[in-house]
Amino acid sequence: MSYKFKVLVFGDGGVGKTTLINRYLTGLFTQGTITIGVDFHIKTVDIEGKKVTLQIWDFAGEDRFRFLLPSYAKGANGVIFMFDLTRYISLESVNEWLDVFKKSFKEEEEVEEVPMIIVGGKLDLNERRAISRSEAENIASEFQFYDYLECSSKTGENIEEIFNKIARYMMEKAEYI
């Protein structure tokens, strides 16, 4: 039996969302990619012997594209909110992004059913870090994210783990494992 899940990846422009997804899909680091509006990718993974197809929706982070998120968020099974560890302002916008995301749901309870993880990107730039792990973990707790991870698309650190964790959380929420 196979399972299909819709995963949204959103956050401010320039935090590394597209680079994260490209690294996950291809294993390669591609710098300077830009998303206009929304991009869509598919990858099939194995979670505890079960075939899981991830439909990964990559949202442009610029303000002018935020209006797209609510219409594409319908039917989402999981969320990855990404910020840049070297830019504090990219974490401060978490509330705005979640408000935009929530507009696609009729009831608050429906939003709470969607597993969400928060990811701090650009871990390879640790010397320029502006957000401590504990600060980010506090935000993750405050906004009831399932998990907090840090990654580097450049080195590949924790890339697979991010998508495996969100896939596992969605499988658990759907009671498939």
Map out the domains of the chain with their CATH numbers.
Answer: 2-173 (3.40.50.300)
Continuous H helices in the chain? 17-26, 68-73, 88-92, 94-102, 108-112, 133-142, 159-173
Q: pLDDT per residue over 21-54, tens digit each?
A: 999 999 999 877 778 778 899 999 999 999 999 9
**Would you give the DSSP letter of residue 167?**
H
Please tell me the predicted confidence (pLDDT) of residue 169.
97
Task: Tell me which amino acid residue 148 is.
Answer: Y
pLDDT confidence band for 61 (50 / 70 / 90): confident
Chain centroid to Cα 33, Å, comes to 17
Q: Which residues pair with 47 in a beta bridge?
A: 50
Predicted TM-score of the model (pTM): 0.94
**Separation CA 42–CA 169 (nearest Å):** 18
Which 3 state secondary structure label does DSSP give 102?
Answer: helix
pLDDT confidence band for 108 (50 / 70 / 90): low
